[in-house]
Amino acid sequence: MFRILPLRHLRRHLPLAGEDRGGSTTTPLAPSRKSNPTSRQSIIRLQRSAHPPISDRMASLLDPTARGRVILVGAGPGDPGLLTVRAFEALKTADVVVHDGLIDPRVLDIAPPRAQRISVAKQRARHTLPQEAINALIIAHVKTGAIVIRLKGGDPFVFGRGGEEVEAVRAAGLPVEVIPGVSAALGCAAEAMLPLTHRDHSSAVSFVAGQCKGLTEQDWSGLAGQGRTLVIYMGIATATEIADKLMADGVAPDMPVAVLERGTLKGSRAIRTLLADLGPMVTREAVKSPAIIVVGEVVELSDAEDKLARWARVAEDAAA
């Protein structure tokens, strides 16, 4: 007959050789004269329940204390106030933050001071790291047991290459989670009071990238026109080509179009014109990225400044 003592009393009654400060033993228990195999097995079971193996502690994403994982986080369109509560909480757990450019410093400051911050900012035709290297960087940090926050502007799955990164992490056999964010289209449109859909003006909305390879080969037919809204990401550098492409597909040259520059950020602008004037307006107004283009009748409902009308007034005044 033997009695199993509570774990907190084990050290006083049964000193353990080779025990470190965490309570784990590196040397087997030496049997005393009063001990027997059954009691020793009970003590070992108690020790293991108090300090489960690392593999047991590497739980699923449902366990907030789980280590060695990736969380793709949408940082929203720019304003830190549009960050979701869940994204805020995830950032506070970060060991490593791999972030895009244009992320507000106040968002990065949410991560613990000890967290390593790595910028992988991308610009047109100039990337800090190619996508394959970013994937490898994330995986390497996760394999050390770190919680890696992959912080992306807007939403990770809307032209953010989030799908590619999820594929790479899963192929490496590592856990990954995605926390959605307010996309640039939604944030910028809301700031400009531009409804992307409207019962009287638009029953469909499409999102395309204006900077993808082979722009001329992309089939946008039917995406813009009466009763439809087209949102174009990364299209400022190719604005003239985009307007030509849409008009060649049958979109009316006088279709309203808006450019939403630096939406939700300091210095934001919302300006509008007609499709045929899109390229010239971008040049006249010296529009810079980040900006999105919105094509459709809903543009007329927005607060965007009508730049074509302004230039018409200037021309009229000059002729008077």
- Residues taking part in catalysis: 100, 122
| Type of residue found at 198 | H
The CA-CA-CA angle for residues 247, 251, 253, to 5°, reads 65
CA distances from 53 to 20, 48, 50, 95, 183 (A): 16, 8, 10, 21, 41
Give the orientation angle of helix 162-171 with respect to helix 131-142, to 10 degrees: 50
> How many angstroms separate the CA atoms of 97 and 68, rounded?
13
The CA-CA-CA angle for residues 13, 19, 21, to 5°, reads 105
169's tokens: 């992490």
133's tokens: 């290297």
